[in-house]
Amino acid sequence: MFVQSPPMGFNTWNTFMEEINEDLIKSTADMMVESGLLAAGYNYLVIDDCWALRERDAEGNLVADPEKFPSGMKAVADYVHSKGLKFGMYSCVGTMTCARYPGSYGHEYRDAKTFADWGVDFLKYDYCFRPKNTKGVDLYRKMAIALKKTGRDILFSACSWGHDETKEWIDATGANMWRATGDIKESWQHIRDLARQGAEMNFRNWANCFADLDMLVVGMNGEGACSITACNADEYRTHFGFWAMAGSPLMIGCDIRKMDETAKEILFNKDIIAINQDSDMNRPLQIAASDEQGDWNESGEDTYTLVKVLENGDIAVGFFNFSEKKMRRYVTPSMLGLDADMPIQFKVKDLWNGEYVELSNETLFRIIQPHCCEIYRYEVANG
Ligand code: GLA
């Protein structure tokens, strides 16, 4: 299966952890359609860990917990599909999943067939309880092949948290996306640290094997299972904008049945989603703070200026301030390759408010408050 742009959808883990059941999945599916999330591109509904019984059946098959899923997983998948959504599930390379349900180690082909029979379109595959002397690369490759052998298109989402130098081998396994970081929690510090990890590896990202900075916490408002401290609207914008510019998959982790206006404003931002989904899948370039002069945050630590060249020749520029000091930055045409040898025109659109900005001397000069971000699209026209 070839995946051209970062997968988008919803995953149960951040808010619900083990509190999952058939009604939750059905009502979430309903809301993904009614709220417009599906139309905005969020098309995968993924059940994370804790869906199974603690034991396999006598033949060795995984069994969905009949108390949580009394109609069985096939019926749940059918319901999700009837809404025009794709259906995702979860397993693990090891003998157990991270929450100690049965893992797929030694059962890869059987489990892949079970998932395919149920109508699964997406498998998240975790990294807990891996037997000693096994290698991540072999275990992920094995499940990738098992999934292919089912004959069903199943997006393969590896989740080894960047461990064991995942970035060096994951694209060779056939995984379509891979967790580059540890688990997100809802707290500003967690978001800042995951952003730092993404930037440190220079957004090692390519079409069909997307580096995943983990699920979004936008809209959780301190209420989900993974919440530590509620983030504010600015922080949610910075989190979402950074994940989007980084080319990370955009998997929503809040209870979408309770999305407030702030969450909607952020998650439905078409212009920012378009940057994330741009078909060229160019990695964003980081403009180092030392190139920008006149910093208030002198070291540039936890501040990022990201530049992403888009498929039609437009350019996205994002300023992200994860630090506690104001960030002062400017971008000149020559820093973007727009110091052209023939007349070239560009308009600069602020993607949070949709307005075009006035430049002075063709330079975009911005002061970004702590925890805030601004994202611009340079719409470039020749002649
Ligand atoms: C790991 C993963 C999480 C989640 C849990 C489930 O911690 O990184 O995203 O899937 O396991 O137990």
Task: Report pLDDT digits (tens) over 2-31.
Answer: 999 999 999 999 999 999 999 999 999 999
Catalytic site residue from 126, 214, 278, 314? 126
Is residue 17 within 6 Å of ligand 1 at its C-beta?
A: no
Task: Report pLDDT digits (tens) over 57-87.
Answer: 999 999 999 999 999 999 999 999 999 999 9
User: Does 291 have pLDDT greater than 60?
Assistant: no
**C-beta neighbour count of 57 within 10 angstroms:** 9
Q: Look up residue 236 and give its amino acid.
A: Y
- Range of lowest pLDDT (310-314, 333-337, 355-359): 333-337
**First vs last C-alpha separation in the chain:** 41
Q: What is the fold, at CATH topology level, of the domain defined by 8-276?
A: TIM Barrel (3.20.20)
Assess whether the region 8-276 and the region 285-382 belong to the same CATH fold: no
Is residue 99 within 6 Å of ligand 1 at its C-beta?
A: yes
Catalytic site residue from 183, 193, 234, 350? 183
Is residue 180 within 6 Å of ligand 1 at its C-beta?
A: no
Q: What is the pLDDT of residue 336?
A: 93
Q: What is the pLDDT of residue 330?
A: 87
Pocket test residue of 10, 129, 179, 183 for ligand 1, highest count of atoms within 8 A of CB: 183
User: Does 383 have pLDDT greater than 80?
Assistant: no
Task: Report pLDDT digits (tens) over 244-289.
Answer: 999 999 999 999 999 999 999 999 999 999 999 999 999 999 987 6
Task: Report the alpha-carbon distance of residue 297 to residue 288 in Å, rounded.
Answer: 12
Using pLDDT thresholds of 50, 70 and 90, give the confidence band for residue 299. Answer: low
What percentage of the chain reaches a pLDDT higher than 70? 97
Q: What is the pLDDT of residue 265?
A: 98
Q: DSSP of 53-82, one letter per residue? A: -SS--TTS---B-TTT-TT-HHHHHHHHHH
Distance 48 CA to ligand 1 centre (A): 8
Q: In CATH, what class is 285-382?
A: mainly beta
User: Does the active-site annotation cover 117?
Assistant: no
Q: What is the pLDDT of residue 382?
A: 75
User: Taking the model in full, what pTM does it have?
Assistant: 0.97
Pocket test residue of 12, 20, 98 for ligand 1, highest count of atoms within 8 A of CB: 98
What is the pLDDT averaged over residues 337-349? Answer: 90
Q: What is the pLDDT of residue 206?
A: 81
Distance 332 CA to ligand 1 centre (A): 42
User: Does the active-site annotation cover 138?
Assistant: no
Provide the residue ranges of all domains of the chain, joining segments of one domain with +. Answer: 8-276, 285-382
User: Does 214 have pLDDT greater than 70?
Assistant: yes
Q: What is the pLDDT of residue 341?
A: 85
Using pLDDT thresholds of 50, 70 and 90, give the confidence band for residue 297. Answer: low
Residue-averaged pLDDT of the chain: 95
The set of residues, in sequence order, having a beta carbon less than 8 Å from that of 261 and lying 6+ positions away, is none
Task: Report the alpha-carbon distance of residue 202 to residue 305 in Å, rounded.
Answer: 12
Is residue 49 within 6 Å of ligand 1 at its C-beta?
A: yes
Q: Are 363 and 330 in contact (CB under 8 A)?
A: yes
User: Does 171 have pLDDT greater than 80?
Assistant: yes
What percentage of the chain reaches a pLDDT higher than 90? 90
Pocket test residue of 10, 19, 46, 126 for ligand 1, highest count of atoms within 8 A of CB: 126
Q: What is the pLDDT of residue 207?
A: 87
